[in-house]
Amino acid sequence: KESQFYPTDAQLAKGFGDDVLRVFDSCGPGALKGWDGQKATHITPVETRTERIISYGPVRAIAEIEVTGWQYQGAEFDMMTRYTLYAGHRDLHIETFFDDPLDKETFCTGVQNIVGASRSFSDHKGLVGSWGTDWPVNDTVKYAKETVGLGTCIPQRYVKSEEKDKANFLYTISAPGNNHFQYHTIFTSMKETFGYKTPEAWFAYLREWKEELAHPVTVKVKDSHTTK
């Protein structure tokens, strides 16, 4: 609330976060986009766009972005996307909800093709990653270049095709008959002391991460019996 996304020097000195990735018109790490058959498109035009924080933690932080009246592929959608970040995790769970079941609409998501000498990785089954170095903002005097790794993992049942446009490494996705789909995205920065320092290490971790997502923890509640 205090920084409105862009911290001042005084706020940075207090430990406020700041950009390490200049997204431009890309999908960044895992942003949902439209698909026009050749490239990712913005979620526009819409009647309203609302962002809200649902939870600040400590177990998890939840943010929601809601649009109404999205004119897309011959239909109109009300759509809400929920982002959940659990404590101790570097990955983000993304859930997208629609007011009505989907038909044959096609969307896309993936990772940014980072400006410059971007490296990429794909298992061609819903997992895609990239690694690269770029200025985090347009100010190239005050800021230094940043190196980041990105990853997005989409359940294969939603995947239609693997694509690439000028700004992104992508998968197109659809969910006919459903009013909900979900996927995960993940991030690392060279600023981290506990992160990944090479593209090879990052892409190896992405494969491990997908395995973890495929085998989630299950919780069973047993009946308790008391005696007198």
- The boundaries of the domain holding residue 139 are 18-214
Domain membership flag for residue 99:
yes
pLDDT at 126 over 70: yes
* Mean of pLDDT values over 117-121: 90
Q: Shortest CA distance to 82 belongs to which of 93, 69, 98, 72?
A: 93
Terminal-residue alpha carbon distance, the chain: 55
Is 107 contained in some domain?
yes
Question: pLDDT tens across 28-78, in order?
Answer: 999 999 999 999 999 999 999 999 999 998 999 999 999 999 999 999 999
**Does some domain include residue 80?**
yes
- How far is residue 202 from each of residues 87, 89, 224, measured CA to CA in Å? 21, 15, 44
3 in a structural domain: no
Q: Is residue 226, in this structure, part of any structural domain at all?
A: no
As a whole number of angstroms, the distance between CA 79 and CA 98 comes to 5
**Beta strand pairing call for 60-72 and 33-35:** unpaired
Question: What is the pTM (predicted TM-score) of this model?
Answer: 0.92
The reply to whether 79 falls in a domain is yes
Residue 8 CA, chain-centre distance (Å), reads 26
